Amino acid sequence: MRPDAFRPAEFPRSANYDPDWVLDNMMGPNALWLTESLAESMELSPGMRVLDLGCGRALSSIFLAKEFDVQVWATDLWVDASENYRRICGAGVEDRVFPIGAEAHALPFAEGFFDAMVSIDAYHYFGTDDLYLESHLAGLVRTGGQLGIVVPGLVEELTSAGPPEHLQRYWEPAFFSFHSPAWWKRHWENSGMVTVELADLAPDGWRHWMQSDLIWSERLNKPTDEADMLAADAGRTLGLVRLVARRNEQPPARLDELEQGMNQPAHPLGEIVRDGNGTTSLRFERLLARPPEWVWRALTDSDQLRHWMPCDIVGPREEEAEVSAPFWDDIVAKYGIEDTVLAGRIVTWRPPSTFAWEWDDELLTYHLEPTPTGTQLKLTIDLGSKGPDVHLVAAGYHICLDQLCALVDTGEAPPFIDANPSQYEALYAQLAG
């Protein structure tokens, strides 16, 4: 590695940090460069309380504390808070950086607690949902406080179903979470919660992204498709998007607006189908931003089922296999379930397209079809006669699919124990007639 490669002139603050320390803890483009690029467009002053959302290994949090003397709540789901605490202590900022383990849809902070929020190379994983900023994040920042993000993005929105020809060999479905500065500005301001002050491409962002990846690849001694992709593109399509906004004073919503909002589900309602012979089925469709292989794992792996189904599937993954369906312990406790383990059977097992299995007297059939942007999921549930009213069952499966969509599209989902199907029961009662 050339001595100057890790210390470009554009990032004088970052140049003061040990390159080995940064490389050992990187999880993507150099977090210090991205944080310095964002911070120059924000108003950070000593003593401010800052939320660093999706902080990874807390490099950005340590940088902010050292450079701006702010207090930082280093919040991440995937990196253990104790691991981050050891890194924070090693950097000598344990009095100003506080590691938190939390999911982006269940942040354990008081309304208006923070003076500012930053998110470095993370927000696109969970923040593209139309309701995320309003429902989960903006309220945690005081009126007049700033919110800032840096994310991989696009020069302008794609005009076709797929990427430009020169990027097709490198493109992954996850890249459809990339958007342009104009898209992000509109997305945030549609919430009514913020006024965007900056929406641009970081100067030479694509080049710094590529350089960072090349250095990391050299460190790991393996080739990098990402750097090749960025070199082939040369800033025509890809870059690093910066977004800085200020929290508005939000007037309280009227009751009729709240009721109207409660009646608008985030995903389409399913169908209730009766065949005239006493058999009732539910049908759902969802579009997911991951390939079928990814969705298949979410449907069948126990560590994924924990986030969106009330029970596990225990037994061989093969056709005609007898399996059991034990409810998770917290679900048993919450709902007072007496029959804690139900019998089941795998009916169809054709990875990664069709999975059907019975549990108790219900038959669930999942069918996955690839799309240009990921996967179309079709779920049919043939209901038995022992369960609760059909509208209650439909609401329960709807909330399960909400959780599944969050898990697949963003890599994380709110705690399943907090999922509330009652919000959909009235809607399905109307469908049921």
Determine, yes or no, domain membership for 253. no
pLDDT of residue 411: 76
Residues 315 and 417 in one domain: yes
- Asked whether residue 9 is domain-assigned, the answer is no
Instruction: Note the pTM of the prediction, 2 decimals.
Output: 0.60
Q: Of 407, 378, 404, which Cα lies nearest the Cα of 270? A: 378
Q: Nearest-CA neighbor of 162 among 369, 374, 353?
A: 374
Pair 342, 207 in one domain: no
In the predicted model, what is the mean pLDDT of residues 372-389? 82
CB 433 within 8 A of CB 403: no
Could you tell me if 235 and 275 lie in one domain? Answer: no
> Is residue 97 scored above 70 in pLDDT?
yes
Q: Are residues 205 and 273 in the same domain?
A: no
Q: Is residue 239 domain-shared with residue 380, that is, in the same domain?
A: no
Q: Is residue 260 part of a domain?
A: no
Distance CA(78)–CA(101), nearest Å, equals 8
Give 179: exposed, middle or buried? Use CB within 10 Å, 0-12, 13-18, 19+.
buried
Q: What is the DSSP pairing of strand 97-101 with strand 71-76?
A: parallel
pLDDT, tens digit, 9 for 90 and up, residues 213-230: 888 788 777 777 889 999
Pair (279, 206) in one structural domain: no
For residue 378 the two structure tokens come to: 């079709």
Specify whether 223 is located in the same domain as 285: no
- Rounded to an integer, what distance in angstroms lies between the CA atom of residue 241 and that of residue 181? 6
On whether residue 47 sits in a domain, the answer given is yes
Number of structural domains found in the chain = 2
In degrees rounded to 5, what are phi and psi of residue 72? -130, 130
Q: What are 11-17's contacts with CB under 8 Å, separation 24+?
A: 11/36, 11/37, 13/63, 13/67, 14/63, 17/63
Q: Predicted confidence band at 253 (pLDDT cuts at 50, 70, 90)?
A: very low
Asked if residue 212 and residue 325 are part of one domain, the reply reads no
Return the structure tokens found at 368: 């996955």
Residue 404's domain is classified under what CATH number? 3.30.530.20
Say if residue 83 is in the same domain as residue 232: yes
Using only the alpha carbons of the chain, give its radius of gyration. Answer: 24
Which has the closest alpha carbon to 60: 217, 308, 51, 215? 51
Structural domain contains residue 6: no
Q: From CA 256, how far away is CA 243, in angstroms rounded?
A: 32
Judged on CB neighbours under 10 Å (0-12, 13-18, 19+), 74 is buried
In a domain, 257, yes or no: no
Query: Containing domain of residue 401, as a range?
Result: 267-432
Pair 230, 330 in one domain: no
Burial 377-415 (b: 16+ CB within 10 A, else e): bebbbbbeeeeeebbbbbbbbbbbbbbbbbbbbbebbbe
Residue given tokens 């006024």 in the structure block: 195
The domain boundary, picked from 219, 247, 275, lies at 247
Same domain, 231 and 106: yes
CATH code for position 172: 3.40.50.150
Work out the number of other CB atoms within 10 angstroms of the CB of residue 232. Answer: 15
HSE-up (13 A, CA, CB side) for residue 394: 23
Q: What is the mean pLDDT of residues 313-338?
A: 92
pLDDT per position as a tens digit, 133-156 = 988 999 999 999 999 999 999 998
Q: Does the structure show a pLDDT above 60 at 264?
A: no
- Is 255 within a domain? no
pLDDT at residue number 385 = 67
Does residue 328 share a domain with residue 213? no
Lowest mean pLDDT among 87-101, 183-197, 271-285: 271-285
Which pLDDT belongs to residue 386? 59
Task: Evaluate whether residue 334 is within a structural domain.
Answer: yes
Of 185, 218, 247, the residue that ends a domain is 247
CA distance 41 to 16: 20
